[in-house]
Amino acid sequence: MRCSAHGVEFIAAYEGFVDHPYRDSGGVWTIGYGHTGPGVQSMGTISRSRGLELLARDVGSAESAVNALDLAFTQGQFDALVSFVFNCGPGTLEPSRSLGQALRQRGMRGVPQAMALYTHAGGQVLPGLVKRRAAEGAMFAQPGTSESALRASAVSPGATWLTAKELKRCRELDELRRIAARTPAQQRRIERLVGLLTTQRKLIWKRAQPQPRGDGRGWDHRNRRQRYHSLLARTA
């Protein structure tokens, strides 16, 4: 199996993005959503959509580790595990580890709880990891999410976080951008969709702010964090 486009966007929502080459804390040249490797230093400035393309390649090792389990997963379960392994490492899938044990139990019902154990860094619980583990657990627990279901559904945590209207516009925009020789009408439609999605992205950002500027409900209300990053990747 491969991580779905929604799965890649989910991971991106929890990874920082830098549009130019930089040296990380270990001195390694890095760009985008943590991409490293030959040629990074000379890549120049990249868009968020290019960053997603690089991330989709970078999760390959996590995909291989999950596939090596040789277990039957729905697309949502697979995406959740790829996100987890990409963040925590393939060693967490070993039979001796909490997650590895839960995956090998009948029904795999204990997987979300096992994921929730991995929230520490430097001996401290990090709120960002708590939120990510909860989101991955919800994605894994989502019943029967196939790739087609992920693309066709409206709002469902762990499947697709976009509203029905956002999803429809994103899919149309993605399809139009795949056309090599576009007509003037198609190009105008792309510009219109980008404008609509940009407006929606800004609205999400505004509402996520503390009161009185926003509604005070924050980034985790109605999947705002993931929705914002999905729209940002298509409009930045």
Known catalytic residue: 53? no
Nearest in space to 142 (alpha carbons), one of 38, 2, 6, 25: 6
Strand pairing category for 18-23 and 29-32:
antiparallel
Tokens of 154: 């409206």
Helices (H), ranges, 35-163: 48-58, 60-67, 75-88, 98-103, 111-115, 127-141, 147-152
Element (H, E) at 124: strand 124-125
Residue pair 200/166 in contact by the 8 Å Cβ criterion:
yes
E strand or H helix at 31:
strand 29-32
Given a contact cutoff of 8 angstroms between Cβ atoms, the answer to whether 58 and 34 are in contact is: yes
Q: What is the residue whose two structure tokens read 């390649």?
A: 57
**Choice among 15, 136, 147, 166 that is catalytic:** 15
- Judged by DSSP in three states, 156 sits in strand
Nearest CA among 9, 157, 170, 15 for reference residue 76: 157
Q: Catalytic amino acids? A: 15
